Each structure stands twice: as structure tokens, then as C-alpha cells.
Amino acid sequence: MSVRTRYAPSPTGFLHVGGLRTALYNYLFARKEGGQFILRIEDTDQTRKVDGAVDNLLDAFAWIEIPFDEGPHIGGDTGPYIQSERLDLYRAHIKILAESGHAYPCFCSSERLEKMRDSQVAQSIPPMYDRQCRAVTTAESSARIDRGEPHVWRMAIPDSREVTVKDLIRGEVRFDAATIDDQVLLKSDGYPTYHLANVVDDHHMQISHVIRGEEWLPSTPKHILLYEFLGWEAPVFAHLPLLLNPDRSKMSKRSGDVAVEEYRKKGFLPQALINFVALLGWHPQGEREIFSLEDLVHEFSLDRVNKAGAVFDLAKLQWMNSEYIKAESDDNLIEHVRPLVSDLIQTHGSSRVELAILTLRAGAETYLTLSEKIHDLFAPSPIRNPELMAGLCDDKVVLVVGEVGRRLAGVEERDWEDFEKIGNTYKEFASEAGRAYSLKGKSLWMPLRIAMTGREHGPELAKLVGIWGRDRVLGELEKTLKYLKHQVLR
């Protein structure tokens, strides 16, 4: 059997991380099996359609670099790939279902249906259609339709039988037909519901495996019955575990930043997001956690997908993204971060800012946090903290700071533009001054850091002198010396 999977979103907004995981698993399975991966837009609910949503979706997948083999943007042999362009096909299959007695018109008003459901809820009865219109004769139904009476088409669920869903992840799941509602298949506006369109499209697009979220499992017996009623072989089903918030509540589109676009804006790498999402419900063999897309294709299998919900751990994603930032080539990293620090480039020049990018990359969780660190580095130094400065009020320290400043002031301007050279020169001056005054290790380098930056922590000072340049470095050292002299004279 040729493997064909699909991702079939509704055009209602941005790509959700849950949708990304569904698409990714479908892509990985298809590629692993040498099959095809199809994009289909399910826009039958026109009231929820959002302008620009399809373009947003395609843009997200282009950024993620997950390609489709068929879809509305590239065509294919089983299109159209937008459901609103396939309405005649759905109506034709409603006719087939009606003629075989598996679908019937329902003329109930929305007011009657609402009262019916309210009454059922009041009696603690699961809300279901009471099948009133199922008793209407074919002749009467035809006459009412000919008069133009508004109606929908419902699925005629068998009165008593069991429907078994064979699921690759959950095994066999059995449903009593008595608990299945007579689902609306075609709405009064002529558009199909998800259930009819989904089955008809999957059959005509030759979908072999339906891999989707767990929330669709209760609907699957309706779909299996539709396949049976239409005389078609059902595809293989696999229902993925829910995505959960850290408190183990269900993750939804309203649960914080769940749009792929938001993670893109915050500076996450697409490779990191893909890697992280792949592990939300699927566990590879061994302890390995970092996978390229090619690695995932090779390693992925549905039999290693969990049944239990998967917790979306933002801290884990941030860690993983930092690992990708550390591994990224210098040129790629600079290219991605430059737009976020363009203001600094205008003020300080490309070379100094690019050195800052490469110096501060370690530990940066995202491009955005890296840019924030760089802006902080170029910001004016903090007012000297008296508690930190107290540690510098030592004759040896003052002499070393002064000596380093004097020797750096003697370095020619052009040598400050050779960042490696000025860094080595700084370390040489500091080490020589330290030996002259019997200071080494932390007792040397910590006072020098505080003297230059006013802080206890930061990037390597040998890098910082290149990033800041002559005027800033000498200015900071002079500022500290004035502060210390003032303290001594008091």
C-alpha cells in the first residue's frame, strides 16, 4: 500500500504548535515510508474563516522547512485542495447516502433543537438529536424540500451495534452505536460538516493513514460508519496524545503563546522548534535529544508514540534552542541577529557588534534574548556600586587599575581595530601589572572586571575591550580611578 498522509487545518488563524506536531508526525511517517504528504484546507465552516490564514500557514511551513507533495499552493492529481472548491462532490455523496437510507433530511429549527438539548441536560441525559425527522417519510421529506423548507442532512446511525476503531497508538477502541449522535453531514447552507468532507476527501485523495489529535477519537466511529455506508475501505488511524500545560491542563489556542509565529518572533530557530515538538509524545530509543529533521525521518515510528498527554515545557524548548544557537555557524548567527541589533550597528559599527554577537552567544536562549544581552552590553555602565567598589579600595588594586589604563592608553588607535590583538595585549598588560604588585587569579581579574564594567559578571574582558573600543574602555577605567581617589581622599 502506498503511504499517503495529510495535514488538514481550518483557515482560522496562525499555525498552533499542536497543529505543527500533527503535521510533523504526518510528514515524518510519510517520508519514513517513502510516501506522500498532502496539505488540504478545510474551510467548510465559513463563519470561522480568517482572511490571510492560508498565507500565514504556508509562510510558517516555509520557515519550518517542512515541504508538501500536494496542496493548494502546488497542485497535484487529487485536488482541488480547498474544500469550498469541492462542494459538488459532497452533495453527490449525500445523495448516495440518502438513496441507501444512511442519511435523511432534518427540518428541525434551531429553537427546537436548543429546547431539546436543554431538556436533556436538565435530566442528566447526554445531549443527542432525538431523531424526530428520521420518522418523516421519504415522500413528505421530498415535498418539504421541493417547497424550499430549510433543512440539513443527518447521518442515520444504526440502532444497535458496536463500532470498533483500530488505532495504531491506542489499540482497539470500542463504541456503542447507541452513544453516537445522528451527526449533521450537510448544513443548510450547502456546506458539509467536517465529518462528511473529511471522509470523502480522504477517500478521493487516497489517504492511507489518518494521523490526528486525540480529540478526534470520539468522532472516528462516525467516520468508520461513513466509510462502510459508502462501500470504501477505511484508512489506518492513529490518534496522538494531547498537549498539556505544565499544570497538566489541556493546551489550547487560548493557552498563552501557542502560535508558531510567536516563537518565530521571539527568536527561536525552526530546527529547535521542530526538534522539541517531535519529542512531545514520541520517545526515541536511547537518551539522545538533539535531532535534525533528517534524523527524525530516520528514527520516527508510530509505535513509539505515547498514549499519555505530553507536557509542553517551555524551559526545555529554551534549553534546546540555546543548544542550536551554540552550534550555529558564525555567519548564519550573525545574519539572523543583525536585524535585531541594527540600531547598535549604526552607532558602533558592524565589526564590534558582530564580535558581541559571537561573544555572547553561549547561554542565549533565543535570538531575542541574545539581542537583549548585546543591547545591555553597549548600554551605559551602571553607577558604581559602593559595595563592589569597596573591594577595590586597596593600594595594590588601585595601582594595577591605573597601570593597565596607562598602558592601554599608549596603544595606537589602529591596533584597537584588531580585536584579537587588542585582547591579547590587554591580557598581557593585566598579567604583567598583576605580577608587579603580587596579584593573580581572582584577586587580579575580579577587581579589573569591576573596574572596567562596574559588575561582577560579564563576557571575557579580553573580548570586551575589542567590543567597546578605546574610548569606552579607557573612559570606564578613568571613571573608576576617579571614584577610588575620591574615596581615599575623604
CA–CA separation, 213 vs 353, rounded Å?
A: 45
Please say whether the dihedral angle defined by the alpha carbons of residues 78, 83, 86 and 88, taken in this order, is positive or negative. positive
Of 370, 428, 440, which Cα lies nearest the Cα of 404?
A: 428
- DSSP codes joined into one string, 129-190: ---GGGGS-HHHHHHHHHTT---EEEE---SS-EEEEEETTTEEEEEEGGGS---EEE-TTS
Cβ atoms of 76 and 206 within 8 Å: the answer is no
CA 358 to chain centre: 26
Gap between the Cα atoms of 214 and 307, Å rounded: 9
Please report how many Cα atoms fall inside a 13 Å half-sphere around the Cα of residue 284, on the Cβ side: 18
Active-site annotation holds for 253: yes
> Per the residue annotation, which of 32, 49, 187, 253 is the catalytic one?
253
Is residue 320 within 8 A of residue 272, CB to CB? The reply is: yes
Cell of 101: 437510507
Rounded CA gap, 46 and 191, in Å? 9
Q: Which residues are marked as active site?
A: 253
